[in-house]
Structure 1
Amino acid sequence: MRLPKISNLYGRIFAIFWLTMLLVLLAALSVSNFDPRETHTIEPPRLKDLYRLAEFTEKRFAHYLSVDSAIRDLNQWRQRRGSGRDRDDDQPELYFTDLNGNLLGTMPRHMKSKAIQNFITLVEDTSEPKQKLYGQLMVAGPIPLNLAGQPVHMYISHKWHRPPPLLLLVLDRPFLLLLIVMVISTPLLLWLAWALSQPARRLERAARRVAKGEFVEDPDLERGSTEFREAGAAFNQMVTAVNKMISGQQRLLSDISHELRSPLTRLRMANALATRKQGESAELTRIDTEAERLEKMISELLELSRMQVNSHHEREIMTAEELWGDIAEDAKFEAEQVNKQLIYSAIPDCTLQGNPNLLMSAVENIIRNAIHYSQDRIQVTFTRQDCELLISVEDNGEGVPEDELEDIFRPFYRVSTARDRHSGGAGLGLAITESAVRQHSGTIKASRCDLGGLKLLIKLPLQNQADARPQKQ
């Protein structure tokens, strides 16, 4: 059976998880070595001191005839010392048992007899001394010696003044342990979240650029964990395929429009020869009119194809003033030549990214249409709203019927009113504008305006520095 492949991303997560578990396990196993409340071995320096004390005690009571008399004298001396003003609670206390673990003598009442008896019971291996902490009382033993000529085991107790180990202090306080774990793990988790989010953010920015019509491969997408590298490679392949498809479609449109001009030119030449030979006639005049209209339509198609071919490669960052400042001023002059008034507002200080020719042509087209179809007044308004630029063009012409407002952006659509009936246009102007706006992730909407005519509102997204990429030289 073949095991599934573990990805690099999940491998990192599992590695961090198991590393954390290993550290916790090592900490738990090491607690017993640092916890004085557990029975453990005695450090060599302290063990040497205990053996010296046992040797001194053995010599001190060597001349006694019995163990009981030696322990009795030891207890009396302890009581005299405890009742004096110079009592020292830090002095060690000695206790003795026979080889079977039976306590010899009587313990003073002020001592913690239960702790001593508990420790004597716990120690099964008497070959090596051990120690254990009971509250503030440290008990150590057994240490073999001869007391009054009899083999016994000696146990020692004294006050414990050392602070508890930090690990033990932490483990005894769950909230403190939780706080320390959070403090330690937070940087690691933040780093992990940052490492996982960076490829996703790069992919998001690349998707936004594609949505704006910038079909450019991004090598940075093919970095990071395996999943994101594969996703980035697939994304770049998609961008390349879409780029080729769009370019091929636009070139095909351009080639078709160009090829149509040749037979159209021959048709007009034949019509001119026929007119010269037979003279003027209504039929020949109609042929020439339709041929001229067809040639104009082809010219508009060629213009559309020229603007769109590789337009997604020709992206620049420009201000709104650079794009439409001169166009608004020229349109104002042209309106005055036909005794019409064009008013435009100040252009906001903002930046857009896109194809300059498409953006300028889109706005210029609807302004010229407004001049052509208005009675005597046109109003152009530039407004910045959040992260968008709003361009409104209004006129006081006849307008467009409500039920045809959404259809006027379709290619070759002709409205039923006089607005388009005698214009001689092919119905491609607003289609070109709508295509240009859509390629820049914008929208265009037609409606009736307060002036009585048509209002066209364009919304274009402003340049976002986070999504910008350095332009290729």
Structure 2
Amino acid sequence: MRLPSVTSLYGRIFAIFWFTMFLVILAVLALPRLDPRLTKDIASRHYHGMLQVRDKIEQRFSSQQAGTKELSSKADLNHILDSFDNRSKRSDEPKLRLYLTDPDGNIQAWSRRSDFSLKALRNFVTTIDDPLKPQQKLYGKTMLSGPIPVDLADKKYFLYFGMKWNEPPGFLLQLFDHPFRLLLAVMLVSTPLLLWLAWALSQPARRLEQAAQRVTQGVFETDPELEKGTSEFRQAGASFNQMVEAVNMMICRQQRLLSDISHELRSPLTRLRMAQALAIRKQGESSELIRIDTEAQRLELMIAKLLELSHIQVDSHLNREAQPLSSLWEGLLADSQFEAEQMGKTLQISDIPDRSMICSPQLLMSALENIVRNSIYYGKDKIIVSFVEHKESLSIKVEDNGEGVPDEELESIFRPFYRVSTARDRHSGGTGLGLAITESAIRQHNGTIQASRSTLGGLLIEISLPLIS
């Protein structure tokens, strides 16, 4: 199964983030070009409207001044603009303020009702490079547009238009004046979107990670939610579920095989012990028959332990519950302390922390019991069990002053059927599965276990288990 790489996933998120930020910066640099206070070309429909106004002015002047070839004064020009301005107020036409200049840019007339600064008009006139290409520019709340050539009494003039302009809002103009404010505003708007995008992209990865963690805990269950999201994660989720189903089938087959093997082994083993008992009855006890009985018992115990190990590896996740530490091991340690006293040995136990963990109680009790009883059996006269509480984990140390285990074999004692070469294991009669069962139980609870040399001279077993936060 090919799983999406976490590195590539977050790389993709960062790539999208920086690409979006690039677009944001590009927008910040481009937005000032939309500032209406910059000189811009006039939109086509507005330009045609201005031409219609120009034509109406020329037509009206022609009808009023029929036969007159020239204007007598600026007052006549003002009268023309005022008359059109008054007409516009009585109609649906835009309420314009009109201005006339001569070809040299000198202001000749303007609407008397105009409340606009002629200084700003002069500034606008000087920005026009080509009179044949009308422009527009915002001054305060007035949008100036022009020039439009107009003929009045056979004289050439240029017509300029002033219109009240309420767009854009004042705060947007402030953003245009301060690019860093604009950048900050765009980032404030885009950051929640980017965070949501990153969250949405990472959700399938989190579900896949949680499913993988459940598998490490021995929970082999398919999750339909994994097959949702982007096509890449849907494919990975489907492959993951197929893998879980395959593992479940493999474990079931293994379990069935072990059960069949145990049944087939126990049947001849039972017949062997019956034959050994009949032989003792007929011939009496002998060292050979006693050896046969001992080995048969060891074989039967080994089969039982092997089945126990198999069940631990498969079923440990089925009976998990929150359990206080004291209820797990307090009774067990009290019984072990009594057992040690009967053997003339001392078992020292530190206080058990007042914390809880999610676990299979019987499994963890059996795991610690295996270690403590081994220490009692192999220790000379002193065994120490200590509990150390950390923020999110518990450390358990079990050590004795026995002969210990050679350093080169410390990592091997948790392997099934491994027998150390020292006297610690030679006469024990064990199966070599006790520590393997313990190690499997600890690993099933997301813990760790390791062996080392104790300061007492014997063996030190240290366990680390996660606690409930």
The alignment's TM-score, normalised by the length of structure 2, stands at 0.73
Counterpart selection for 2:463 from 446, 458, 461: 458
Counterpart selection for 1:344 from 346, 349, 356: 349
Give the match for residue 468 of structure 1.
none
Counterpart selection for 1:70 from 65, 68, 73: 73
Tell me, in whole angstroms, the C-alpha distance in 2 between the residues paired with 1:151 and 1:439: 101
Give the match for residue 191 of structure 1.
196
Tell me, in whole angstroms, the C-alpha distance in 1 between the residues paired with 2:352 and 2:247: 35
Question: Deviation at 1:457?
Answer: 0.8
Tell me, in whole angstroms, the C-alpha distance in 2 between the residues paired with 1:139 and 1:285: 119
Counterpart selection for 2:430 from 408, 411, 425: 425
Give the match for residue 137 of structure 2.
133
Counterpart selection for 1:155 from 147, 159, 165: 159
Give the match for residue 88 of structure 2.
none
- Give the 3 Å change call, closer, same or farther, for CA 411–117 of structure 1 in structure 2: closer
Tell me, in whole angstroms, the C-alpha distance in 2 between the residues paired with 1:287 and 1:120: 117
Give the match for residue 37 of structure 1.
39
Tell me, in whole angstroms, the C-alpha distance in 1 between the residues paired with 2:252 and 2:319: 13
- Give the 3 Å change call, closer, same or farther, for CA 215–347 of structure 1 in structure 2: farther
Tell me, in whole angstroms, the C-alpha distance in 1 between the residues paired with 2:223 and 2:107: 88
- Give the 3 Å change call, closer, same or farther, for CA 174–269 of structure 1 in structure 2: same
Counterpart selection for 1:301 from 276, 298, 306: 306
- Give the 3 Å change call, closer, same or farther, for CA 316–254 of structure 1 in structure 2: farther
Give the match for residue 89 of structure 2.
none
Question: Is the 8 Å Cα contact of residues 32 and 38 (structure 1) preserved in structure 2?
Answer: no
SS of aligned partner of 1:67: coil
- Give the 3 Å change call, closer, same or farther, for CA 372–111 of structure 1 in structure 2: closer
Question: Deviation at 1:456?
Answer: 0.8
Structure 2 gaps of 5+ residues are 1-11, 79-95, 110-117
Q: Does structure 1 residue 202 correspond to structure 2 residue 225? A: no
Question: Is the 8 Å Cα contact of residues 35 and 165 (structure 1) preserved in structure 2?
Answer: no
The alignment's TM-score, normalised by the length of structure 1, stands at 0.73
Question: Is the 8 Å Cα contact of residues 307 and 357 (structure 1) preserved in structure 2?
Answer: no
Tell me, in whole angstroms, the C-alpha distance in 1 between the residues paired with 2:222 and 2:35: 59
Structure-to-structure mapping, 1:317-332, within 5 angstroms: 317-332=322-337
Tell me, in whole angstroms, the C-alpha distance in 2 between the residues paired with 1:103 and 1:187: 52
Give the match for residue 4 of structure 2.
none
Question: Is the 8 Å Cα contact of residues 250 and 308 (structure 1) preserved in structure 2?
Answer: no
Question: Deviation at 1:182?
Answer: 1.6
Question: Deviation at 1:367?
Answer: 0.9
Question: Is the 8 Å Cα contact of residues 140 and 155 (structure 1) preserved in structure 2?
Answer: yes
Question: Deviation at 1:196?
Answer: 0.6
Counterpart selection for 2:284 from 269, 274, 279: 279
Tell me, in whole angstroms, the C-alpha distance in 2 between the residues paired with 1:423 and 1:120: 107
Question: Is the 8 Å Cα contact of residues 213 and 441 (structure 1) preserved in structure 2?
Answer: no
Tell me, in whole angstroms, the C-alpha distance in 2 between the residues paired with 1:134 and 1:173: 18
Q: Does structure 1 residue 290 correspond to structure 2 residue 295? A: yes
Question: Deviation at 1:434?
Answer: 1.6
Structure-to-structure mapping, 1:370-381, within 5 angstroms: 370-381=375-386
- Give the 3 Å change call, closer, same or farther, for CA 203–441 of structure 1 in structure 2: same
Tell me, in whole angstroms, the C-alpha distance in 2 between the residues paired with 1:445 and 1:94: 95
How high is the sequence identity, in percent, across the aligned residues? 51
Structure-to-structure mapping, 1:95-106, within 5 angstroms: 95-97=100-102
- Give the 3 Å change call, closer, same or farther, for CA 36–110 of structure 1 in structure 2: closer
Supply the AA of the counterpart residue of 2:148. Answer: P
Counterpart selection for 1:438 from 443, 448, 466: 443
Structure 1 gaps of 5+ residues are 1-9, 76-90, 125-129, 465-473
Give the match for residue 242 of structure 1.
247
Question: Is the 8 Å Cα contact of residues 312 and 440 (structure 2) preserved in structure 1?
Answer: no
Question: Deviation at 1:174?
Answer: 3.7
Question: Is the 8 Å Cα contact of residues 216 and 313 (structure 1) preserved in structure 2?
Answer: no
1:64-120: CA deviation from partner (whole Å, max 9, x where unpaired): 976374249979xxxxxxxxxxxxxxx9784355xxx6779989x989768537649
Question: Is the 8 Å Cα contact of residues 251 and 309 (structure 1) preserved in structure 2?
Answer: no
Question: Deviation at 1:56?
Answer: 13
Question: Deviation at 1:58?
Answer: 4.8
Give the match for residue 185 of structure 2.
180
Supply the AA of the counterpart residue of 2:137. Answer: L
Question: Deviation at 1:192?
Answer: 0.7
Counterpart selection for 2:408 from 403, 408, 416: 403
Supply the AA of the counterpart residue of 2:73. Answer: A
Give the match for residue 142 of structure 1.
148
SS of aligned partner of 1:123: coil
Tell me, in whole angstroms, the C-alpha distance in 2 between the residues paired with 1:296 and 1:93: 111
SS of aligned partner of 2:73: helix
- Give the 3 Å change call, closer, same or farther, for CA 303–234 of structure 1 in structure 2: same
Supply the AA of the counterpart residue of 2:215. Answer: V
1:352-375: CA deviation from partner (whole Å, max 9, x where unpaired): 334333222111111111122222
Tell me, in whole angstroms, the C-alpha distance in 2 between the residues paired with 1:159 and 1:270: 119
- Give the 3 Å change call, closer, same or farther, for CA 329–51 of structure 1 in structure 2: same
Give the match for residue 227 of structure 1.
232
Tell me, in whole angstroms, the C-alpha distance in 2 between the residues paired with 1:236 and 1:462: 29
Question: Is the 8 Å Cα contact of residues 38 and 133 (structure 1) preserved in structure 2?
Answer: yes
1:302-351: CA deviation from partner (whole Å, max 9, x where unpaired): 33334444334343333323322222222222223333222222222333
Tell me, in whole angstroms, the C-alpha distance in 2 between the residues paired with 1:284 and 1:187: 81
Tell me, in whole angstroms, the C-alpha distance in 2 between the residues paired with 1:29 and 1:416: 81
Tell me, in whole angstroms, the C-alpha distance in 2 between the residues paired with 1:215 and 1:296: 29
Tell me, in whole angstroms, the C-alpha distance in 2 between the residues paired with 1:367 and 1:110: 99
Question: Is the 8 Å Cα contact of residues 405 and 424 (structure 2) preserved in structure 1?
Answer: yes
Tell me, in whole angstroms, the C-alpha distance in 2 between the residues paired with 1:215 and 1:176: 54
Question: Deviation at 1:393?
Answer: 0.8
Give the match for residue 3 of structure 2.
none
Tell me, in whole angstroms, the C-alpha distance in 2 between the residues paired with 1:114 and 1:391: 86
Question: Is the 8 Å Cα contact of residues 32 and 176 (structure 2) preserved in structure 1?
Answer: no
Tell me, in whole angstroms, the C-alpha distance in 2 between the residues paired with 1:106 and 1:304: 106
Number of residue equivalences: 421
